[in-house]
Structure 1
Amino acid sequence: MPSITRRRTANVGRPTSAETDILAATQRLLVNGANFTELGVQQVCTEAGVARSTFYSHFRDKIDLLVRLATELMTSSFDVTSAWKPSEGVERLADAFLQVVKVYREHAAVRRALTEVATYDATVRDFWSQELNQFTDWTIAVLRAEQDAGRTPADLDPVSATRLVVMGGERALVDHVTAGDPHADGAFARELALTWWYGVYRRPAHHGERSPS
């Protein structure tokens, strides 16, 4: 997937110590309630213990910084979800979604900043759209493979079904980690998995999977 940041960051590959410090400092400030729009580069540098010149040697601007932070969120979420295979069943899917909930909780402040900045910055909007499209494309491909194997009905529209569960599921995730009880994470992940398994993959309950209790 091509980069849509305003320029590629100065160092590609494993982050340097300074990059790591800047990313961690920004996340700390956001977790502590900072508004990303009002957050200054100097404030980030002070928190990270680096010079402004160091910041600009690694990031073009604050938007580049936010995209880097958000990439960690989406990469972790996609890696967890795409590791699941339909042959593993609904319970394993629930486990995968629980891991995704944990990732979203860890990066809740970054996700909040994305919502904030996307209202006025096209780069962030395009970045987020492309990240969700990656997950959408993967889900469509899996659904079509399941149809070809005869495990998902041929009359399912993979594109429409995927849009419903990816877009709706991501919004539900954000709402849950924002307002939901962390003790309900397991129940939320299970309900999300059941929605995918019986609603999208169209698995009947008698195919060896444990029926919802």
Structure 2
Amino acid sequence: MPSITRRRTANVGRPTSAEADILAATQRLLINGANFTELGVQQICTEAGVARSTFYSHFRDKVDLLVRLAAAFTASSFDFASAWAPSDGVERLADTFLHVVKVYREHAAVRRALAEVATYDATVRDFWSAELDQFTDWTIALLRAEQEAGRAPADLDPVSATRVIVMGGERALVAHVTAEDSGSDAAFARELALTWWYGVYRRPADHSK
């Protein structure tokens, strides 16, 4: 499997206690239906049990807070996805996607806030684009390595194929965790894996590895 250098657009190291309290409080408020744009810093501080000055000692503003929340979410997704290699086969890919679905379900409120704020804030929009780029770069590298090894056809266009499965897959993940309950997660993850495996990776119908 090719070596991929991950680009991190935000610090996702272990947060301090107060920082963790603020992040957790914000996520709780979002899960409970708060609109991020209308969510005030004081409301976040009250939920977290910290002073307003404490908030600003850890975060520049609310956008910085959202980016930090989202960076932890995307780092977890990427860690699961990038642990898989084509030699692991389609069943392991289905397991990988099931883990990713669970991450998306856990952070659905944060993903919703990202979509909301990205419509008017260039920082968030650029952050999210960069986060998706790491999935894109990783997938393109995998497909090219498969071509070089003779396991994928020479006429496969890795860039176009990646655009379909990364962008399309991400939108499908959001739609799934928004509209469906967790009982259907395994079936969804398996169908996503089969789409990648037999569609993009071009494995024959009787080939699971």
Same-fold status (TM-score > 0.5): yes
Report the secondary structure of 2:109's partner residue: helix
Post-superposition offset of 1:110: 0.2
Which digits, 9 at most, give the CA deviation of each residue in 1:74-99, with x for residues without a partner?
Answer: 00000000000100100000000000
The residue number in structure 2 matching 1:25 is 25
The residue number in structure 2 matching 1:71 is 71
Which digits, 9 at most, give the CA deviation of each residue in 1:160-192, with x for residues without a partner?
Answer: 000000000000000000001321100000000
Query: Equivalent residues in 2 for 1:1-213 (5 A)?
Result: 1=7, 3=9, 13-207=13-207, 209=208
* C-alpha separation in 1, matches of 2:184 and 2:127: 30
Report the secondary structure of 1:84's partner residue: coil
Structure 2 counterpart of 1:186, which letter? A
Normalised TM-score (structure 2): 0.94
* C-alpha separation in 1, matches of 2:179 and 2:13: 35
Report the secondary structure of 1:102's partner residue: helix
* C-alpha separation in 1, matches of 2:197 and 2:114: 29
The residue number in structure 1 matching 2:4 is none
Report the secondary structure of 1:70's partner residue: helix
* C-alpha separation in 2, matches of 1:136 and 1:44: 34
* C-alpha separation in 2, matches of 1:153 and 1:2: 32
Q: Go from structure 1 to structure 2 and tell me whether the alpha carbon gap of 1:14 and 1:46 turns closer, same or farther (over 3 Å shift).
A: same
Post-superposition offset of 1:2: 6.1
CA RMSD of aligned residues (A): 1.3
Post-superposition offset of 1:73: 1.0
* C-alpha separation in 2, matches of 1:167 and 1:54: 37
Which digits, 9 at most, give the CA deviation of each residue in 1:119-160, with x for residues without a partner?
Answer: 000000000000000100000000000000000111000000
* C-alpha separation in 1, matches of 2:103 and 2:74: 9
Higher RCO, 1 or 2 (CA under 8 Å, sep at least 6)? Answer: 2
Identity %: 82
Which stretches of structure 1, 4 residues or longer, exceed 4 Å deviation after superposition?
Answer: none
* C-alpha separation in 1, matches of 2:195 and 2:180: 18
Structure 2 counterpart of 1:122, which letter? A
* C-alpha separation in 1, matches of 2:171 and 2:8: 25
Post-superposition offset of 1:72: 1.1
Where does the alignment leave 5 or more consecutive residues of structure 2 unmatched? 1-6
* C-alpha separation in 2, matches of 1:163 and 1:205: 23
Post-superposition offset of 1:41: 0.3
* C-alpha separation in 2, matches of 1:164 and 1:140: 11
* C-alpha separation in 2, matches of 1:103 and 1:55: 26
